[in-house]
């Protein structure tokens, strides 16, 4: 009597899974040894050194002061610059709604400012702008804002 051995589908399945795993490992190794170093070399190219900082949306705050407060190092690789840190530093320094900082390839950092709008001026030895919530905007004075009401009679 001839015995018939049934071939199990498990061996074929295990062989297929093994091929996929080996293929994945081969691709990962190729990326690690070929693609990744090439990308790093491209990113470190001198063309990506910071040459310009652009401030967009600044109506009341001096753009040069924003750039100084951002404390970005000119000539540094733009991929090494922590744009989140720049945004947080600017939020601490200025009473603005928000700052958006992003890279503009190849050599520019752009700072987009969303300023708080003054609705009045407080007369406190000098004129200081205030927003709609009454928060002082010390960088906004009478020389920057025309035709706003002046609030007097407030003691510091």
Tell me how long the chain is.
156
Cβ within 8 Å of residue 73, ≥6 positions away: 50, 81
CATH architecture, domain 46-115 = Roll (3.10)
Task: Provide the pLDDT for residue 2.
Answer: 54
Residues of the chain with CATH 3.10.20.310: 46-115
Arithmetic mean of pLDDT over the chain: 81
Q: Is 14 helix (H, G, I), strand (E, B) or coil?
A: helix
pLDDT digits (tens, 9 = 90+) for 104-126: 989 999 999 888 888 888 887 88
Which residues of the chain are under the pLDDT cut of 70?
1-15, 35, 95, 140-146, 156
- Angle, helices 63-70 vs 83-93, to 10°: value is 120
């Amino acid at each position: 009597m001839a015995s018939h051995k049934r071939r199990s589908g498990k061996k074929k399945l295990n062989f297929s899974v093994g091929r996929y795993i080996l293929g994945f490992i081969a691709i990962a190794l190729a990326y690690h040894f070929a693609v990744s170093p090439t990308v790093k070399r491209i990113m470190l190219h001198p063309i990506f050194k910071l040459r310009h900082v652009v401030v967009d949306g600044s109506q009341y705050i001096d753009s040069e002061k924003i750039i100084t407060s951002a404390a970005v190092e000119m000539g540094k690789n733009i991929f090494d610059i922590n744009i989140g840190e720049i945004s947080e530093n600017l939020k601490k320094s200025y009473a603005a709604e928000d700052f958006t900082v992003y890279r503009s390839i190849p050599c520019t950092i752009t700072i987009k400012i969303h300023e708080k709008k003054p609705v009045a001026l407080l007369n406190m030895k000098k004129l200081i702008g205030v927003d709609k919530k009454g928060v002082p905007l010390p960088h906004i004075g009478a020389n920057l804002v025309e035709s706003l009401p002046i609030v007097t009679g407030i003691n510091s």
